[in-house]
């Protein structure tokens, strides 16, 4: 990201960029900034966008070979193509021969670093990995947004805000906009403001539900489950998120047992440090074999639902009851 920012500042661009990773907010932000810098947001003659699977590679190459129309550059943007997961040798071979006036920006969630196209972009362009940001980076970004609006935020309010929003920057941006509107006319944001206006993510509701399960507060766990159902969350998505949370706790607890420090544990697990810290505290309430069994039970429940042996709502209820101390 640092090198990309330097390119945008200097105006010295690579011919090919790959924006990859799971942080959608940053990918969207940088693809827009690259478009504005390379051809301008309003230039429709020299900008072509392709999205999704099934893109005609020959058509892309033909477009790339077309001279810019009364401009210095032509930009081709390719998004969620799957080219970096499935082989795309035509583009890999073409990139080194691309006309100097043509630029390409790929925006992908998943990539195979062993693939020819990935290696071709790495050789002649710039690869920018945009993953989930750590707590320090998110905090600095939130504070900078507050400063732009002439506001300050109390530390306890900031901690609550991050606890409610999680580490998804798209969600943070949306909740931040709500918070700034709610506190219009005030110089500072307080704990009560965040508590009043900011929404807890589904993932955080799942976290609270698992915490209630771990602490054997069965009624609260069930109440949280029914709250999610009332919000129209499908039981199978809830089951998926429960399984993901148990699996994350298992992975983190196992890494900690191997002697890794908190920062390394977070890095190896691929989660933000503050999320790893929170999940490790939760995992401490479970023995390792219990977490292993919970993950297996989640898989069994999913199979039971898909085979028609259990209803999806009942399957989640049974799982919650089993691990919150009742049968």
pTM score: 0.69
Residues 6+ apart with CB under 8 A from 57: 88, 90, 91
- Closest by CA to 172, choosing from 149, 205, 139, is 139
CATH class of segment(s) 2-129: alpha beta
3 state SS of 6 = helix
Which overall architecture, per CATH, does domain 202-323 show?
Answer: Up-down Bundle (1.20)
> Average pLDDT of 283-289?
91
- Shared fold status for 135-163+170-197 and 202-323: no
DSSP per position, 152-216: EE-HHHHHHHHHHHTT-HHHHHHHHHHHHHHTTT-SEE-HHHHHHHPPPPHHHHHHHHHHHHHTT
Q: 228 or 34: whose pLDDT is higher? A: 34
**Among 57-61, 226-230, 267-271, which stretch is predicted with the lowest mean pLDDT?**
267-271
Q: Where are the domains of the chain?
A: 2-129, 135-163+170-197, 202-323
Asked if CATH classification 1.10.8 holds for the domain at 135-163+170-197, the reply, yes or no, is: yes
Say if residues 290 and 178 touch (Cβ distance below 8 Å): no
Query: 76 in helix, strand or coil?
Result: strand
Average pLDDT over residues 47-70: 94
Instruction: Give the pLDDT band (50/70/90) at residue 317.
Output: very high
User: Is 117 within 8 Å of 96 (Cβ atoms)?
Assistant: no
Could you read off the pLDDT of 106-134 as tens digits, one per residue?
A: 999 889 999 999 999 999 899 999 988 88
Residue 312 phi/psi, 5-degree rounding, is -65, -40
Distance (Å, rounded) from C-alpha 95 to C-alpha 68?
Answer: 17
Inform me whether the pLDDT recorded for 172 exceeds 50: yes
pLDDT digits over 249-263, tens only?
A: 999 999 999 999 888
CB neighbour burial string for 162-183, b if at least 16 within 10 angstroms, e if fewer: bbbbbbbbebbbebbeebbeeb
Q: What is the pLDDT of residue 327?
A: 43
């Amino acid at each position: 990201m640092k090198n990309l920012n330097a390119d945008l500042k200097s105006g010295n661009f690579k011919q090919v960029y790959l924006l990859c990773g799971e942080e959608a907010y940053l990918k969207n932000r940088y693809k827009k900034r690259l478009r504005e810098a390379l051809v301008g947001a309003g230039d429709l003659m020299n900008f072509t966008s392709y999205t999704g699977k099934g893109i005609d590679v020959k058509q892309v190459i033909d477009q790339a070979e077309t001279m810019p129309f009364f401009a210095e550059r032509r930009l081709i943007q390719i998004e969620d193509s799957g080219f970096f997961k499935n082989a795309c040798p035509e583009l890999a071979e073409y990139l080194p021969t691309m006309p100097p006036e043509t630029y390409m920006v790929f925006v992908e969630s998943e990539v195979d670093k062993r693939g020819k196209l990935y290696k071709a972009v790495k050789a002649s362009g710039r690869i920018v990995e945009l993953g989930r940001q750590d707590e320090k980076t998110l905090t600095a970004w939130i504070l900078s947004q507050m400063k732009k609006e002439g506001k300050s935020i109390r530390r306890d309010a900031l901690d609550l805000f991050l606890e409610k929003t999680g580490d998804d920057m798209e969600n943070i941006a949306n909740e931040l906009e709500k918070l700034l509107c709610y506190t219009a006319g005030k110089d500072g944001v307080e704990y009560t403001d965040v508590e009043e206006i900011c929404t807890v993510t589904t993932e955080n509701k799942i976290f609270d539900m698992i915490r209630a399960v771990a602490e054997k507060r069965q009624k609260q766990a069930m109440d949280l489950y029914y709250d999610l159902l009332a919000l129209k969350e499908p039981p199978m998505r809830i089951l998926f998120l429960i399984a993901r949370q148990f699996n994350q706790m298992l992975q983190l607890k196992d890494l900690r047992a191997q002697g890794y420090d908190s920062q390394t544990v977070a890095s190896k697990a691929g989660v933000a440090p503050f999320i790893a810290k929170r999940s490790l505290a939760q995992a401490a309430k479970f023995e390792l074999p219990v977490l292993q069994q919970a993950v297996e039970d989640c898989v069994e429940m999913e199979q039971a639902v898909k085979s028609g042996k259990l209803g999806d709502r009942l399957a989640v209820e049974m799982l919650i009851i089993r691990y919150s101390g009742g049968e």
